[in-house]
Structure 1
Amino acid sequence: MNSTRRGPIASFFVGLWDVMNFTRRLIVNFVFFGLLILFSLLFIGAVIGGNARPILLPRTTLVIAPQATLVEQYTSDPLSRAFNKSMGGRNEELQLRDVLRALDAAQRDKNIERVLLHVDDLQGGGMASLREVAAAIARLKASGKQVVAFSEQMDQKQYLLAAQANEVYLDPMGQLTLEGLARYRQYFREGLQDKLGVDVHLFKVGTYKSAAEPYVLDAASPASKEADLFWMNDVWQRYLGDIAKARKLDVATLTNDVNNLPQGVASVQGDLAQLALNQHLVDGLKTRQQVWDLMRERGEADDDATGGFRRIDLDDYIAHLDKGLEGVVPEKHVAVVVAEGEITGGDAPPGKVGGDSASELLRQAHDDDNVAAVVLRVNSPGGEVFASEQIRREVERLKKDGKPVVVSMGDVAASGGYWISMNADRIYADPSTITGSIGIFGVIPTFSRALEKIGVHTDGVGTSPYAGAFDLTRPLDPQVGTVIQTVIEKGYRDFTGRVAKARGRTVEQIDAIAQGRVWSGAQGKERGIVDAMGGLQDALDDAAARAKLGKRGEYDVRYIEKIPTPFEKFFPGLAQSRIGMGMLRESDMARALLVKTAPQAARDLQFLEASANDRRGAPVKAVAYCFCGL
């Protein structure tokens, strides 16, 4: 038998390889067993403490002090929220539905003695959703529960909530000013066309369809200003009326104080807290500690709690309400599908409305025999026409097969947001909802002049006169512009025709109130594009009545949302256990994952860019969108 002996050099490298291979396996095993131990401990922690709920004792003060953005639906996934909370972070979003049910539950909860409001850090929310919260606070107060509000610095939206309290206190160094509503935008025509050489071609139908004006004008058009001021004045007067009613003030006096702000500030030598007290917007000037001392005197002392009084925070109270609800699917019930955000094609993530994904949720409601009726909660400025039509068809299909559909409009249900609403059996809106904007537009930017500025030119050949006509690096042929305008006009006819059929009007009647014009909810009702004034609860009651499920309190409600993965279902409870929370708080891996999965806010320019780029083979994409939020 022959054997080959290795030389010293070969033996060295073979030995080195063996050492490296052993080291690699050792490291992999360490990582594997380390992760195994980590998840084992997390699992044990979840079993031991994952189902723990805060103990609610008698004479508790419910403290509502959210540091979050008010939303209809979470835009982040459960995994991200669990990671964030496990590492000591706060929930960056607060669902409107959770605030409303917490306030309504507190009315009946014998352990909740009073509510302390501190809404300085509550962001987002339009006038419609804030009015729903304000109404819930007013109901709580009317039930006999004391509501105390405290602020160090509030804006006028936050004050709408605080004003509903029995007592409103402001820090002596605090600020509160009512200034009115405004809507100012940047206009880019000179910068884009004159400076950069980007030609923006706008195609639209509707005198008041002003969504894309900033890209073709240097200032708002007269029609745009006329329409905006009309609905904004309506919303503002309603706001003043709400404040006056809550604070027992005179609307005329309140209006005069707002319009003469400089004189008022001068009269108190710049002391805005004193000005708020003089104008009866607040009941007294107190520091945070003084308000806490007041809560301690009126409530139950607890030296271990923040502030020294027995309290439960909003998040913990919601968790308390949710105890035992997981996995419960009622038999016959009203299903709620939320359509919040821009309407885009395909499957959209939370915070946007996907033509495919939203349609799938409505199909689930259609196919579920336990769903007796559907409430479509719409909070959307619109978006792609085809995606909007996909969703509208599912609404029509539900109705055709005997399941009532009621729309509840949130802050905004305009343009494409109205498109998906119009076929409902009944449309509810808050008087301050922004709706309408029945119009179509399309925007095509071309960059030939911009490229020429840096010495880049486009040239080539095509097999037909209009091959390559939609290449954005070439000038837009006027005849192609005619083609696009014709397509946009067809989209407008589709829009107004469908609205006319759904609302039992003629096309001419709808065209007279359409033209891209925006209306408040109250103005929309006067013009027949909204059926009734009311919030989400009113829509639920209506849907239940149509399905013969009984009155409020006699029927069940379930939200149909995108089904989380098994890991997303398991991890939140696991991560919020005592052991899991402690370990993840020290985990660099967890922090890295959290950063990676953090949601990013959508921007108007991103929407326009996506609309221009993603045409899915179609030369023209019609858009029904309204940049009409406050």
Structure 2
Amino acid sequence: MNQPVRRGPIAAFFVGLWDVMNFTRRLIVNFLFFGLLLFVVMIFVIAAGSGAIKPLSERTTLVLAPEGRLVEQYSADPAMRALARMTGDKGAQEVQLRDLLRAIDAAREDKHIERVMLRVDKLQPTGYASLREVADALARLRQSGKQIVAFGENLGQHQYLLAAQADEVYLDPMGGLILEGLGRYRQYYRQGLQEKLGVDVHVFKVGEYKSAVEPFILDAASPEAKEADLYWMNDVWQRYLADIAKARKLEAAQLAAGIDTLPEGLAAAGGDLARFALQQKLVDGLKTQEEVENLLAERGVADADAETGFRSIGLDGYLALLDSKRLPLDKRPQVAVVVAEGEITDGEQPAGRVGGVSTAALLREARDDDDVKAVVLRVDSPGGGVYASEQIRREVAALKEAGKPVVVSMGDLAASGGYWISMNADRIYADPSTITGSIGIFGMIPNVTRTLDRIGVHTDGVGTTRFAGAFDITRPMDPAVGSVIQSIIDKGYADFTGKVAAARNKPVEAIDEVARGRVWSGAQAQERGLVDELGGLQAALADAAKRARLGEAGKYRVRYVEKAPSPFAQFMAGLAGSRIGALLVKDSDIAQALLARAMPEAGAQLRFVEEAAKSPDGSPVKALAYCFCGF
């Protein structure tokens, strides 16, 4: 039996003193912790009260000034988005296409919205399919009798497609606007890799138009790549000119001539881009922002307390107002929308990426939900891994087998693997300017044997079979290994074209004629039977509802099936998005640092090729269905 340790009076004194100090330290820390917790809760409660939605006054101007990338789905959690807005991180800002369309369509019927001021300077370039959906919504708004006034300081041709839909377009006298056309140029690395570094790149593919690998094996684009790219780009560009001409009541040929004679025309305008744009009738006048705001104050209701000088509401505020009017319990049958945006890779992926497991799980959730009667798969993807694409395609097929119609709505890009996940839908919709097709497979393996030779490093060893270590990039590639890989690629292409033929009810030979890695515009794809209808998301939703016999719009609910943010993310977003939270973050460097550490991260966005090269499943060969297309 252990005897208790006896301490002398001096030792007992110091031990007791230490216990008292330790108790006091814990007590103070606990007081600080609970005090901070109470402080945060109080701020959140006050912020929630101060953030109450106020009713919209009559004769309000809706200011649409989207900033950042136009996306189908946010790639960051709510808290990180709120922090990006407060700290002014423009590079991280995103605008959901669905939100922008929802605001424009609601304003058309809103009696409190008198007109719209459009500012698109800070909207980053995106694909023309998405822009055309927004442009169509603005055109409908204008046709309803609501005035649209657009202002810009410097406008690119992507942004101008939206600005051109306004009744009046004003440009800052010191601003600029140039229409230049579409171009697609890439760097080619063959000489640098093979001759300078000694890296040999072995390529395996099917289809002379599958040009994604060309930069690694050529010094310039192949004739086939140039032919295919120019074919679909000319189609998209002519449509762009037609859209601008229609909105501005001009001739497309006049716009094209203005581009061809740009040096002479700009010289005649004294090098003044704003004046040149006015002469070309691309804008209606040259005004500063203050002059435009004064104009809107005169036409609307002046408000000295408003930042704009007139009674107005911004996009975020208007969306919050619309959200406050939603019914908490909506029992109408649903058309579910599942977004597939970004590269298609294996496993679970965050928003803004397509995961074979995660996206399939969302489709399965829609299949198991009795309230969901039909599904729209919104695709904006260049493709990716073949197996991950097949996982998603199988879920589309399972939805159809369960009796739930599936309609695909293609966004800016639905090529290669993006087409793979689309082909089994009951109906495929695409905008005429969507980029699709690229039905093909490729594989690429670098070899650094010559690189190592140059520095006197050599690889040697033994293996139990002729293929043991055969995929090691530090050893010369055996021709037999190349034959194995090409057989896998050939089989992948046969699977791809065979599945497309079965899904589209066409002979394999007919699919091969329009496949072979070739890219098409949405209009060209429809002509070749790869797309059923031309139209945007609303047309796809209406089709899905009709197939499920849900009746007219308003008799069913559209619900996006997405991975819900965690309660902590929602709490932090609510705090950071409030006025008090924004004030704390804006004025305190310490608060910014703490919030940045505390908020959940969306995960590192690794590039597709880097992830594919890792091959986490241990497979030495992985077929890819990816399209390096776009501009």
Q: TM-score, normalization: structure 2?
A: 0.94
After TM superposition, the structure 1 = structure 2 runs for residues 567-582 of structure 1, keeping only pairs within 5 Å, are: 567-582=568-583
Task: Give, in angstroms, the shift of residue 443 of structure 1.
Answer: 1.4
Residue identity in the other structure for 1:354: G
How far apart are the structure 1 equivalents of 2:198 and 2:97? Answer: 45
After TM superposition, the structure 1 = structure 2 runs for residues 540-619 of structure 1, keeping only pairs within 5 Å, are: 540-585=541-586, 586=588, 588=590, 590-594=592-596, 606-619=607-620
Report the 3-state secondary structure (helix = DSSP H, G, I; strand = E; otherwise coil) of the residue aligned with 2:281: coil
Task: Answer yes or no: is 1:440 the counterpart of 2:448.
Answer: no
Give the length in aligned residue pairs: 626
How far apart are the structure 1 equivalents of 2:580 and 2:363? Answer: 39
- Paired residue for 1:179? 180
CA contact (8 A) 2:584 2:591 kept: no
How far apart are the structure 2 equivalents of 1:224 and 1:2? Answer: 87
CA contact (8 A) 1:407 1:424 kept: yes
Report the 3-state secondary structure (helix = DSSP H, G, I; strand = E; otherwise coil) of the residue aligned with 1:459: coil
How far apart are the structure 2 equivalents of 1:613 and 1:252? Answer: 50
Q: Using the TM superposition, name which of 416-425 and 561-570 deviates more.
A: 561-570
- Paired residue for 1:83? 83
- Paired residue for 2:56? 56
- Paired residue for 2:313? 312
Task: Answer yes or no: is 1:408 the counterpart of 2:409.
Answer: yes
- Paired residue for 2:72? 72
Task: Give, in angstroms, the shift of residue 32 of structure 1.
Answer: 1.9
How far apart are the structure 2 equivalents of 1:88 and 1:122? Answer: 15
Residue identity in the other structure for 1:240: L
Residue identity in the other structure for 2:53: R
Distance 1:208 1:12, change over 3 A: farther
How far apart are the structure 1 equivalents of 2:44 and 2:267? Answer: 62
Task: Give, in angstroms, the shift of residue 30 of structure 1.
Answer: 5.0
Residue identity in the other structure for 1:61: T
Task: Give, in angstroms, the shift of residue 356 of structure 1.
Answer: 0.3
Task: Give, in angstroms, the shift of residue 325 of structure 1.
Answer: 3.0
CA contact (8 A) 1:87 1:582 kept: no
- Paired residue for 2:121? 120
Task: Answer yes or no: is 1:223 the counterpart of 2:221.
Answer: no
Q: Deviations over 1:224-276 (max 9, x none)?
A: 11100000000000000000111011111111111111111111110111111
Q: Using the TM superposition, name which of 146-155 and 76-85 deviates more.
A: 76-85
- Paired residue for 1:525? 526
- Paired residue for 1:93? 94
Task: Give, in angstroms, the shift of residue 530 of structure 1.
Answer: 0.3
Report the 3-state secondary structure (helix = DSSP H, G, I; strand = E; otherwise coil) of the residue aligned with 1:122: coil
Residue identity in the other structure for 1:267: A
Q: Using the TM superposition, name which of 566-575 and 386-395 deviates more.
A: 566-575
CA contact (8 A) 1:86 1:580 kept: no
CA contact (8 A) 2:374 2:544 kept: yes
The answer for unaligned runs of 5 or more in structure 1 is none
- Paired residue for 2:509? 508
How far apart are the structure 2 equivalents of 1:204 and 1:27? Answer: 68
Q: Deviations over 1:516-558 (max 9, x none)?
A: 0000000000000000100000000000111111123332100
CA contact (8 A) 1:432 1:522 kept: yes
Report the 3-state secondary structure (helix = DSSP H, G, I; strand = E; otherwise coil) of the residue aligned with 2:370: coil
Report the 3-state secondary structure (helix = DSSP H, G, I; strand = E; otherwise coil) of the residue aligned with 1:473: coil
- Paired residue for 2:234? 233
Task: Give, in angstroms, the shift of residue 28 of structure 1.
Answer: 3.5
How far apart are the structure 2 equivalents of 1:418 and 1:328? Answer: 36
- Paired residue for 1:490? 491
CA contact (8 A) 1:41 1:579 kept: no
How far apart are the structure 2 equivalents of 1:270 and 1:154? Answer: 17
How far apart are the structure 2 equivalents of 1:384 and 1:390? Answer: 10
Q: Deviations over 1:354-374 (max 9, x none)?
A: 000000000010000110100
How far apart are the structure 2 equivalents of 1:31 and 1:200? Answer: 61
Residue identity in the other structure for 1:594: A
Q: Using the TM superposition, name which of 583-592 and 307-316 deviates more.
A: 583-592
Q: Deviations over 1:16-63 (max 9, x none)?
A: 96587457535632552243223322342254235x224411001101
CA contact (8 A) 2:452 2:458 kept: yes
Identity of aligned residues (%): 64
Distance 1:592 1:196, change over 3 A: farther
Task: Give, in angstroms, the shift of residue 83 of structure 1.
Answer: 3.4
Distance 1:475 1:31, change over 3 A: farther
CA contact (8 A) 1:185 1:214 kept: yes
How far apart are the structure 2 equivalents of 1:42 and 1:477? Answer: 67
- Paired residue for 2:273? 272
How far apart are the structure 1 equivalents of 2:247 and 2:158? Answer: 14
- Paired residue for 2:381? 380
Report the 3-state secondary structure (helix = DSSP H, G, I; strand = E; otherwise coil) of the residue aligned with 2:467: coil
Report the 3-state secondary structure (helix = DSSP H, G, I; strand = E; otherwise coil) of the residue aligned with 1:307: coil
CA contact (8 A) 1:396 1:423 kept: yes
- Paired residue for 1:451? 452
Task: Give, in angstroms, the shift of residue 469 of structure 1.
Answer: 1.4
How far apart are the structure 1 equivalents of 2:4 and 2:322? Answer: 80
Task: Give, in angstroms, the shift of residue 622 of structure 1.
Answer: 0.5
Task: Give, in angstroms, the shift of residue 306 of structure 1.
Answer: 1.4
Distance 1:30 1:587, change over 3 A: farther
Task: Give, in angstroms, the shift of residue 618 of structure 1.
Answer: 1.9
Q: Deviations over 1:569-613 (max 9, x none)?
A: 33322433344333444363543543785668857xx32121121
How far apart are the structure 2 equivalents of 1:53 and 1:397? Answer: 43
Residue identity in the other structure for 1:210: S
CA contact (8 A) 2:378 2:409 kept: yes
How far apart are the structure 2 equivalents of 1:324 and 1:544? Answer: 23
- Paired residue for 1:426? 427
Residue identity in the other structure for 1:165: A
How far apart are the structure 2 equivalents of 1:225 and 1:581? Answer: 50
Task: Give, in angstroms, the shift of residue 625 of structure 1.
Answer: 0.5
How far apart are the structure 1 equivalents of 2:4 and 2:566? Answer: 60
Report the 3-state secondary structure (helix = DSSP H, G, I; strand = E; otherwise coil) of the residue aligned with 1:308: coil
